[in-house]
Amino acid sequence: MSNLYFHYPFCKQACHYCNFHFSTKTQESERLWKAMLTELKLRKQELQLPLESLYFGGGSPSLLPPNILEALFNLLYKEYNMRSDIEITLEVNPDDVTKDYLSGLKSVGINRISLGLQSFYDRDLKLMNRVHSSDQALKALEFTSVLFSNFSLDLIYGMPYSTLLEWEQNLNTVMHYYPPHLSAYALMVEEATVLDRQVKKGEILLLPEEGVQEQYELLLEKTEKGGFINYEFSNFGKPNYFSINNQNYWQGNPYLGIGPGAHSYDGHALRKWNISNNPLYIKAIEAGELPLKEEKLSTKDRYNEYVMTGLRTIYGVSVAHIKNTFGTRYAQYLEEQAARHFSDHNLYWDGDCLKVTKKAKFLTDGLAADLFFI
């Protein structure tokens, strides 16, 4: 079983916080898509069939017309034994949404939409340099909820100048449409982004950490009341609507990433990633070469990754799994390190699994770092 990921590296405009790989120079988009199909063929033997999920991320894959996707699906059904009932997600930007576009996606086989709303406040959207307005976000949400039963909404909290009340209002707005899945991320200032420069120059004042924590805690409270399960730090799903794609990543299952900047994992220790440069990617693929780099993860790296993803998810960190996979030394180390966090009620044992208490959830990444093997 594995996941197949397509990274479509084009956007209409650069959001000021984003450091995902994308380009706003779309002239070569057709050539690049062709190169992605060639890469898929060149790496066919790396896919561990059957496919369990298919995911189109970016960048902005909602710039792709449905007929292009249909041609790909026909290839996947014919030559990769893909079943049409697996989870097939496409990330959609609100400014690309029309009823016709969404219906087109549905008719060619997309069965899950991930809609990048981010916020319903124009002040936030402007600060982010999003293409769309809050009105467009609302329209997109309305159409998506009518046309798709399986959809997810992306929101960003902890925005500069935002209040708890505004964040509550954003959550109320999305809840009104009964989404089966939500992803909510704290605004991260990524290096070398416009936001990073603005913050360094003092042009934008970030929300203090306590303000971000307050918004996260409100998110936990409201999603719980709304029947969501917080199955990963930033992800909330109704029962039966956890993302299969996300869960496979977090459970260390194999995935193949196609396109510039896309990462792949063999499910054991080998990670590969494509060059994050569109022209160089096209050039290499057209010459029949794979512009890939790879690294073999050490036992220590794999332990640390397992601890990080385990603590962030509802599954926790299983000491038995650590003993079987990484050895007794690592299991003992985990138990010793974790012991320091029981008296302050940040961590607890649920059977053989180490988990973060509700009150310490916001501190998850720091707690995981404390358990790392260094």
Ligand X SMILES: C[S@@+](CC[C@H](N)C(=O)[O-])C[C@H]1O[C@@H](n2cnc3c(N)ncnc32)[C@H](O)[C@@H]1O
**What residues line the site for ligand SF4 (CB under 6 A)?**
11, 14-15, 18, 20, 22, 58-60, 93, 116
Count of positions on this chain that bind ligand X (CB under 6 A): 15
Partner touching 188 among ligand X, ligand SF4, none, CB below 5 to 8 Å by kind:
ligand X
Task: Convert the chain into a string of H (helix), E (strand) and C (coil).
Answer: CEEEEEEECECCCCCCCCCCCCECCCCCHHHHHHHHHHHHHHCHHHCCCCEEEEEEEECCHHHCCHHHHHHHHHHHHHHCCCCCCCEEEEEECHHHCCHHHHHHHHHHCCCEEEEEEECCCHHHHHHHCCCCCHHHHHHHHHHHHHHCCCEEEEEEECCCCCCHHHHHHHHHHHHCCCCCEEEEEECCCCCCCHHHHHHHCCCCCCCCHHHHHHHHHHHHHHHHHCCCEEEECCEEECCCCCCHHHHHHHCCCCEEEECCCCEEECCCCEEEEECCCHHHHHHHHHCCCCCEEEEECCHHHHHHHHHHHHHHECCCEEHHHHHHHHCHHHHHHHHHHHHCCCCCCCEEEECCEEEECHHHHHHHHHHHHHHCCC
**Residue whose CB is less far from ligand SF4, 18 or 308:** 18
Indicate whether 182 belongs to the interface with ligand X (CB under 6 A). Answer: no
Partner touching 285 among ligand SF4, ligand X, none, CB below 5 to 8 Å by kind:
none
User: How far apart are CB 101 and ligand SF4 at their closest, in Å?
Assistant: 16
Backbone angles phi, psi at 272, to 5 degrees: -130, 155
Choosing from 91, 124, 214, 232, the residue that interacts with ligand X (CB under 6 A) is 91
User: How far apart are CB 255 and ligand SF4 at their closest, in Å?
Assistant: 19
Which residue is listed with tokens 């030559």? 79
Query: What residues have CB less than 8 Å from 57, skipping those under 6 apart?
Result: 5, 6, 7, 8, 91
User: How far apart are CB 243 and ligand X at their closest, in Å?
Assistant: 13
Tell me the residue nearest to ligand X as measured from the CB: 116
Indicate whether 58 belongs to the interface with ligand X (CB under 6 A). Answer: yes
User: How far apart are CB 348 and ligand X at their closest, in Å?
Assistant: 29
Partner touching 14 among ligand SF4, ligand X, none, CB below 5 to 8 Å by kind:
ligand SF4
User: How far apart are CB 87 and ligand X at their closest, in Å?
Assistant: 17
Indicate whether 161 belongs to the interface with ligand X (CB under 6 A). Answer: no
**Which tokens belong to 208?**
């203090």
User: How far apart are CB 185 and ligand X at their closest, in Å?
Assistant: 4
Indicate whether 60 belongs to the interface with ligand X (CB under 6 A). Answer: yes
Indicate whether 198 belongs to the interface with ligand X (CB under 6 A). Answer: no
- Binding characters for ligand X, 102-141, by CB under 6 A (x = yes): --------------x-x-----------------------
Query: What residues have CB less than 8 Å from 165, skipping those under 6 apart?
Result: none
**Residue whose CB is less far from ligand X, 72 or 156:** 156
Indicate whether 8 belongs to the interface with ligand X (CB under 6 A). Answer: no
Indicate whether 196 belongs to the interface with ligand X (CB under 6 A). Answer: no
Partner touching 364 among ligand X, ligand SF4, none, CB below 5 to 8 Å by kind:
none
**Residue whose CB is less far from ligand SF4, 52 or 124:** 124
**Residue whose CB is less far from ligand X, 148 or 326:** 148
**Residue whose CB is less far from ligand SF4, 47 or 117:** 117
Task: Convert 129-164 into a string of H (helix), E (strand) and C (coil).
Answer: CCCCCHHHHHHHHHHHHHHCCCEEEEEEECCCCCCH
User: How far apart are CB 174 and ligand X at their closest, in Å?
Assistant: 13
**Residue whose CB is less far from ligand SF4, 53 or 60:** 60
Partner touching 248 among ligand SF4, ligand X, none, CB below 5 to 8 Å by kind:
none
**Residue whose CB is less far from ligand X, 156 or 367:** 156
Beta-sheet pairing, 347-350 with 2-8: unpaired
Question: Which stretches of the chain bind ligand X, using CB under 6 A?
Answer: 17-18, 20, 58, 60, 91, 93, 116, 118, 154, 156, 185, 187-188, 190
